[in-house]
Amino acid sequence: MLVLGRKPGQYVVINEKIIIKVIKSEEGHLRLAIEAPKDISIVRGELLNQE
């Protein structure tokens, strides 16, 4: 697992196809924007744990 610190406006690129950008960060709350090809499924972790 890779752990990074990022500030709002900074981003991480995975395999030149997926961009994860921090768009807001305040008092323990974090908002991410994820840009990926349509054929890649993005699912929130809590939804996976329900199964």
Q: Closest Cα to residue 30, out of 18, 41, 21, 19?
A: 21
Percentage of the chain modeled with pLDDT above 70: 98
For residue 14, pLDDT over 90 is answered with: yes
What is the pLDDT, as a whole number, of residue 28? 80
Cα(8)–Cα(10) distance, integer angstroms: 6
- Locate 25 and state its tokens: 């960060």
Judge whether 20 and 34 are in contact, CB under 8 Å.
yes
pTM above 0.85, yes or no: no
What is the pLDDT, as a whole number, of residue 51? 61
